[in-house]
Every structure is written in C-alpha cells, then in structure tokens.
C-alpha cells in the first residue's frame, strides 16, 4: 500500500517532536502486540552495502549520478498510535536506532485494545532528550550518534562513495534539534483501513526509500553537496527530504 506522509488532521494534532508521550507506567496495556518492521530500499532495489569484503551495488539518483552505500543509520522516536476515536497511545520503547547494515529493523510494542487508523513518530531525537545529560539504551553515546552537548544527536547518517564526489566519498551526518536548522522531522502513516489490536497481533511493515534523500523536496546533487557534517542550510534540506522516505506500508 502506497502512502504519503501527512500531518495529523485533528483540531489539536499530536506532534511526535514537541508533545511528550504519556509515561509508560501510566498506560494499562491490554491489547495484542504491534510488530513493526522497517525495510530500507533504494528505489525498488535491495540496499546492498559496500564493505571491505563486498563491492556493494551501484545506484543512481534522480540526476543519474552513480553512488554506493557504506552506512545508513537513523533514529525514530516517540511512536504513537491514533485510534479511530482520536485517542493517542504512546508506544515503548520510545527511541530506536535503525541501522540498515543490520537488515530489516524489528520492534514490538504493547498496545491497548482498540482500533487504530494512524501511526506517527519522529525521525531524530527530540530536544528534551538532547539536553538531558548522559542517556542509556538507544540514546547511549556508545552508539556513536552523539556529537556533543551543544549540537546533540546525529538524527540520520548516510555515507557512501561516488566517482563524482571529491575524493570519491560523500558524508551526510544530519544533526540539529532546535531553531531554524532543526533536523527532527515528524512522520505520519495514515492507514487506508484501520486495524484492531483487540483479538490478534498486528504486523506492520514500513518501506523506506533512500533515493528520497536526493529529491523528495529539495534537489541534491552529489558533486555539489557531498560533505554535510555541520548544522546549516544543507542539513535542513536533507532533513526535509528524508522526512518523505517512508513510501509504503503493509499490514498482516
């Protein structure tokens, strides 16, 4: 099923970036599990990485510029379900590292019994967690996705090689959690048909397309934009683009 990322159409839409989730211990989970999986693709092709042991695969962006992928990692945070009655259910764990080199990402969430029409989450880490001191779990600096206390977390990383890039490589390390160059982006998955967690577990698979980094909103050319490791106009454009990378869902 194809979908477009849209804003929640409610009088007071839930924002996974600024609205704090309900505390986990305040929720009475009595429904079946939501099993979420995320498959990262490059257009309609499998994502194959270039490593010291594998030459990888060559892909082409919208300009026909060739590239190979070495690293593709991003955060998703504060996932929530919106019911058909407009109620919001916070899902835990709240923070996840999606590392495409590890294959399909899988996570399971406890739910409350109900019928749900929408899944929302953020790409990146909200400002509160960026300034909350040393974190654990997915937010532990051990994972190499934390810059410093001023710039916070790296929301998404895309690294690769291209014969059109200076020195043959490109690096997109996207950070920034506040102000003009905030790189955290909301995602809304609105379902054509709601699902119920009352009687069975639900398997929801999302597909993310890495090609969206290059032209979903702003055109990005590898020879012109090949090293983004600081907060600024280029990081903002890339964040606008990756906000659109979730292109398809399937429910079982």
The answer as to whether 18 is a domain residue is: no
- Give the model's pLDDT for residue 151: 72
Report how many domains make up the chain.
1
Reference 202, options 252, 245, 236; nearest CA is 252
The answer as to whether 42 is a domain residue is: no
pLDDT along the chain (252 residues), means of 10: 46 64 86 97 97 90 98 97 96 96 97 97 89 79 78 92 96 94 96 96 98 98 97 97 97 92
* Domain interval for residue 161: 48-251
- Give the model's pLDDT for residue 26: 86
- Give the model's pLDDT for residue 128: 80
Q: Are 123 and 40 in contact (CB under 8 A)?
A: no
Reference 170, options 160, 180, 182, 184; nearest CA is 160
d(CA 4, CA 229): 28
The answer as to whether 213 is a domain residue is: yes
- Give the model's pLDDT for residue 168: 97
């Amino acid at each position: 099923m194809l979908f477009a990322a849209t804003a929640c159409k409610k009088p007071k839409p839930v924002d996974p970036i600024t609205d704090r989730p309900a505390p986990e211990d305040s929720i009475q989970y009595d429904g079946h599990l939501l099993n979420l999986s995320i498959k990262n693709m490059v257009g309609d092709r499998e994502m194959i990485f270039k490593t010291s042991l594998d030459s990888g695969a060559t892909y082409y962006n919208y300009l026909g510029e060739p590239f190979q992928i070495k690293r593709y990692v991003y955060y998703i945070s504060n996932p929530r379900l919106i019911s058909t009655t407009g109620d919001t259910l916070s899902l835990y764990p709240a923070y996840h590292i999606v590392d495409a080199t590890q294959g399909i990402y899988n996570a399971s969430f406890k739910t409350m019994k109900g019928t749900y029409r929408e899944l929302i989450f953020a790409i990146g880490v909200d400002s509160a967690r960026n300034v909350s001191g040393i974190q654990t779990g997915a937010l532990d600096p051990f994972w190499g996705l934390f810059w410093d206390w001023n710039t916070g977390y790296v929301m998404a990383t895309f690294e690769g090689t291209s014969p059109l890039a200076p020195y043959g490589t490109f690096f997109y390390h996207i950070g920034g959690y506040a102000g003009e160059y905030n790189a955290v982006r909301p995602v809304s998955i609105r379902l054509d048909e709601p699902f119920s967690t009352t009687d069975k577990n639900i398997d929801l698979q999302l597909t993310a397309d890495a090609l969206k980094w290059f032209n979903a909103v702003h055109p990005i050319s590898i020879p012109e934009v090949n090293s983004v490791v600081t907060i600024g106009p280029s990081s903002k454009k890339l964040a606008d683009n990756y906000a659109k990378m979730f292109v398809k869902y399937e429910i079982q």
